[in-house]
Structure 1
């Protein structure tokens, strides 16, 4: 067993030696790994050599310029009225930015649509005036909704990224669309993102016949920068714009199109800033909630309850590097509800975290390996810490949290943090204490090594997981990440381990990866998530992004992107092959409009070590060979009417399975958006009983907004697998920045472990108030 302790300067480790049986088991595991690595050694060398050759030949992958582009800020003594007009005389004092440079589709060329940025500041605010010119004016603007943290594929936008410490690693990014809807996030090395961090800032916009204007005011307290004796500071800074009608991406400081504007080693400079010295920054957010709950079992009411509850959170920015969050009677009534998923694979479904308290600074604790949104990296997910294990049961029901806290420290040299939560004792679950601690040391050019420890403490025993991880950027396009993790559960006596190593090569023409992973049978991170146990995974792959001279129909076709990514899984201990698949995309077309079309085929061998029962269809253990085919297609997602579809067909174990997923969205204006989704799985003579059945899942979702601050959101979902019906209706009013009034109605149907149907209904009113000192 590995125990790890640390302070700011030193990491201590203590090792409890395992028994002879455990030593033998571990030796077997590493013998298997050695055999696999030896078997794939030649292919790995060829992959690396080809990657370096491609890197050397790819002239589009340029290094950061030694002379950084700069934009000068001008100090003023007055306070501006933020109305999206830029009519105050102070704006005439600021010098406009240099012309932007195109990133997409023609990297390095002049933009077809200019963007102009001006910067002012006083003692309270940093101001930005951004004019996005467009010859089509209002007619060119695309926006489908007023959702905060909106989908960037569906909106015109500009995004500002700040590197206040000039470490070329950390980014604080603020984005707005043409209607003043906000999106903000924190980024580290353009790899780890806190997408749901919400900063306190204000923006107003106007739309004209010559483009759109964004006027932005950012309190100095929202930004992070060093306390220094220098009277003038210069920050790393970039801003990019996406004109969604033509998907033209332009930036103040250019970067390779395979990266993002948050890759801060490519950023320019924001000069002549004289911010006030960082001071104590405390945000207090109390809330009051009244609710009525009703529960039924098989249609018979068994409980009802009316409650009045108070609680709240305190966020204390102790200094520019350290933040302390405290919470009492934590409530997540406003969190977006989970959508049901009908799963026909052997991999466990991963439901993302949706609760705001746990989403902030999630990237610091979120080490592990998982599949990227573009399907690269492999299907294995190993995540030692997953915050949904706190305050939620296996059915997604909330378990009250009494109190908790989180401390996070970030700097150019090191990052560390800890979180502790107390879960209330209920009849169905004991009182539980949760702890997660994280430390990582940064060194060289975007390299780091770190450790993470989780402890779940219950009366019947403890579950402890200790992990060591590393990330190494070998060059602009090459990176390696790795992790080793061990778990120990005292009440069962079980100990297990997991590990992975992953290599990535990314250029403007190729994306290649190789992932090796292992999860033993007894690895049990009770505060984490693993998609599969008792397997050794090997998952290489390559994407080819072709935009060359032989690409036809360039007016509407942006890129041809074929790919192949095989997956091999062997059983730990025996080394027996339990799954082999080759996913081949001979066709993937990305259109200039943002639409796409792809076709894949996946020949699969699967040896089931135990019976498998997807959606109630029983499939016996044993070997199977089958081939699945799939079509991905989407129209332009930014249009008023858009359709996305995924359709699978082909053999499936000993029978056939046809599956389809269709989503149709109608958004005539950002004030109104309505979408319907239909999912069908049609089994044909599958499993032990040659079962033929259709299982449908369908939903409808709407968003109605007066403006970005007053919105009504709702969805209704029906699942034929268990005849469950679920809905969530939420009215929200942001009556002042980050202060809300919510009215929420919830209804959930689900089957418990005894196969009884449970129904839960809830109505609640929540009022929160944010005050920043």
Structure 2
């Protein structure tokens, strides 16, 4: 025990360290003359502001100043924050972008963005920016590092391109963000990515192992006086939609459904928001990208629906990736939501709260259900926090004889501690969860911990989970729950050698082991994974790896997931495999990625997996992508090899930065389906859209239509 005291003392001390980049301060003043947001830096007002410049390089090396010159100016009036960024081009006339698509892929586009830590808590904030071609970027930041780009709100920017520079000018309403009016300090940083010289930089320096948006390394925005409250802030977002769908298998008449509903956003104060929704419609949400599933457990697909996104980390980040007590996609997918209420935000600098209540409609044998969630979070030390979560799922009008296939209720309560040292080198969490379900008592706890250390050249993690056989999270995501009680340990360690080379930045090994034990402490799964990584100067990345696996099946399982003969429960399976991964540099118009995997499989079989993605862009208007995932599985007990093919061509056409057309096709012979989805989005004014969505599903063997639907939806964002 005593040998760990120095380590614990060091972690404890690090959590109290002062703000890392306190010396980087930008003093912002109120405007004394008007500003026009036009991407031209000649307004008189900009001549009387401080200039943030002399950016520091983050990658490829973090030991010098940036070669790409960047200058940033800020100002404000009673309603808006204004930002001007002048991004000088190291190579005149050039820039790299994929398209004009909103919330673009950060690593594949020249871009600039600002992060705002409006409570200066080093963990929560907002991000606004654009690509060099003028595509919008906005998101809400949580945990000091993760930006949720699905968050969307009202603001305005203009980008202008010149031979020697590109200029971004933005106007952000104070009503769009959350802040405390009495504060005179915010955290702030500016990030620039220039792919023509493969360089990422920031105004306040950030070590290369961290993202440039890391709030632990933000500088300080100093206001010349306390900001006034944002004032009355009520937004109504009604929608009207009409859809026509037809099931061609049953040959029923076409189903036409007009629909009306909407959302409301009410600012209870400058930092706390109330969201309301009535009869929400999510038909415009892009369909999930399909995956070949050769796993025994459920795949994860992220939440994309706008109602669930603001301050989503309060609810969704509780627990771990494979042990989430709450997962919002359990609500309302396939079942209509009648209404929803959601309050979230800051109570003060240290306290955050989230309350969610939604009601789904009775449908067939499924009773109407109510989902209620309460989350409370208290900041401790420099960047850590303690959280509480309560989840309740209740079936209304429950009759055990009629609704015996569904549970009457399921409840979860949990507490957790999230560790984040001031310099972000130490992170981790510890969670304790308990569920309440009819007929399931005892052994209904789950406990999980992790501790991570991340320096520039060395990183390691220890993660451990203990889940009782009766732990039950019906509104969560716990794919391993099918194991009915288990322990899991997942240690990993890696090292990077930084080199002085024209082609390589760094290379090094990674070793990871994942072990599962059942409730009798008998080992049921073990995967040991050894990889060697290569990080190239042109931002390409590569990896070679080898792995050994052991699995004892806890239930009958078809390893092809195609409805074929299943292997018996209790059978033991061992295999070895190896593979490669490579992703090309994003700076070229033609991009590609591939991965290979070959080796053993269940039942003394073999599996070959080949995946590739080819892309070409006609910047900035068209980006194309073609993906193929091919598996051939040979197992002795099946007479013929099983071939699985998933093909997914996609095209994104961005006519302007407010008019987008996306079309993709997915052929998946494992699901015996061909899916076509095409979506046109016109953002005719900020946060207001017209959508036209067309979807087809076909049988692969003869391309006979299974079902077909077309949706027209109009939304309007109205500030009351």
TM-score with structure 1 setting the length: 0.85
Residue in 1 aligned with 2:140?
Answer: 186
Query: How many aligned positions are there?
Result: 693
Instruction: Give runs of aligned pairs for residues 253-652 of structure 1, distance below 5 A.
Output: 253-274=204-225, 275-296=227-248, 299-370=249-320, 381-392=322-333, 398-410=334-346, 411-458=348-395, 459-460=398-399, 461-473=408-420, 476=423, 477-490=425-438, 496-533=444-481, 534-547=485-498, 551=499, 554-572=501-519, 574-585=520-531, 587-614=532-559, 615-616=561-562, 617=564, 618-621=566-569, 622-652=571-601
Question: How far apart in 1 are the matches of 2:577 and 2:319?
Answer: 25
Instruction: Give runs of aligned pairs for residues 132-281 of structure 1, distance below 5 A.
Output: 132-139=87-94, 141-191=95-145, 193-228=147-182, 233-274=184-225, 275-281=227-233
Residue in 2 aligned with 1:30?
Answer: none
TM-score with structure 2 setting the length: 0.91
- Alpha-carbon shift at residue 48 of structure 1 (Å): 9.2
CA contact (8 A) 2:234 2:267 kept: yes
- Alpha-carbon shift at residue 690 of structure 1 (Å): 5.5
CA contact (8 A) 2:216 2:422 kept: no
The CA deviation string for residues 558-609 of structure 1, in whole angstroms up to 9 with x for no partner, is 110320101111112x111101111000x21111111111011011111112
- Alpha-carbon shift at residue 691 of structure 1 (Å): 4.6
Residue in 1 aligned with 2:71?
Answer: 116
Question: How far apart in 2 are the matches of 1:453 and 1:215?
Answer: 43
The CA deviation string for residues 338-362 of structure 1, in whole angstroms up to 9 with x for no partner, is 1221111234211111212112221
CA contact (8 A) 2:328 2:475 kept: yes
Q: CA RMSD in A?
A: 2.6
CA contact (8 A) 2:104 2:137 kept: yes
Residue in 2 aligned with 1:678?
Answer: 628
CA contact (8 A) 1:565 1:584 kept: yes
CA contact (8 A) 1:142 1:638 kept: yes
Structure-2 change in CA distance of 1:738 and 1:235 (3 Å): same
- Alpha-carbon shift at residue 689 of structure 1 (Å): 3.0
- Alpha-carbon shift at residue 430 of structure 1 (Å): 2.0
Residue in 2 aligned with 1:36?
Answer: none
Structure-2 change in CA distance of 1:480 and 1:124 (3 Å): closer
- Alpha-carbon shift at residue 133 of structure 1 (Å): 0.9
CA contact (8 A) 1:568 1:577 kept: yes
Check if 1:82 corresponds to 2:28: no
- Alpha-carbon shift at residue 635 of structure 1 (Å): 0.9
Residue in 1 aligned with 2:644?
Answer: 695
Structure 2 unaligned blocks of 5 or more: 400-407
Question: How far apart in 1 are the matches of 2:209 and 2:18?
Answer: 13
The CA deviation string for residues 287-337 of structure 1, in whole angstroms up to 9 with x for no partner, is 0101112124xx331353111111000001111221100000101111110
**Which range moves more in the overlay, 733-742 or 88-97?**
88-97
Find the partner of 1:665 among 615, 624, 633.
Answer: 615
| SS at 1:352 equivalent | coil
CA contact (8 A) 1:161 1:261 kept: no
- Alpha-carbon shift at residue 84 of structure 1 (Å): 1.1
- Alpha-carbon shift at residue 63 of structure 1 (Å): 7.7
Structure-2 change in CA distance of 1:420 and 1:303 (3 Å): farther
Question: How far apart in 2 are the matches of 1:469 and 1:80?
Answer: 47
Structure-2 change in CA distance of 1:47 and 1:195 (3 Å): farther
Structure-2 change in CA distance of 1:487 and 1:191 (3 Å): farther
- Alpha-carbon shift at residue 52 of structure 1 (Å): 7.4
The CA deviation string for residues 199-242 of structure 1, in whole angstroms up to 9 with x for no partner, is 321111111111211011111222333223x8xx3322111111
Structure-2 change in CA distance of 1:760 and 1:470 (3 Å): farther
Residue in 2 aligned with 1:128?
Answer: 83
Check if 1:759 corresponds to 2:710: no
| SS at 2:175 equivalent | helix
- Alpha-carbon shift at residue 65 of structure 1 (Å): 4.5
Question: How far apart in 1 are the matches of 2:286 and 2:677?
Answer: 8
CA contact (8 A) 2:696 2:705 kept: no
Structure-2 change in CA distance of 1:188 and 1:685 (3 Å): closer
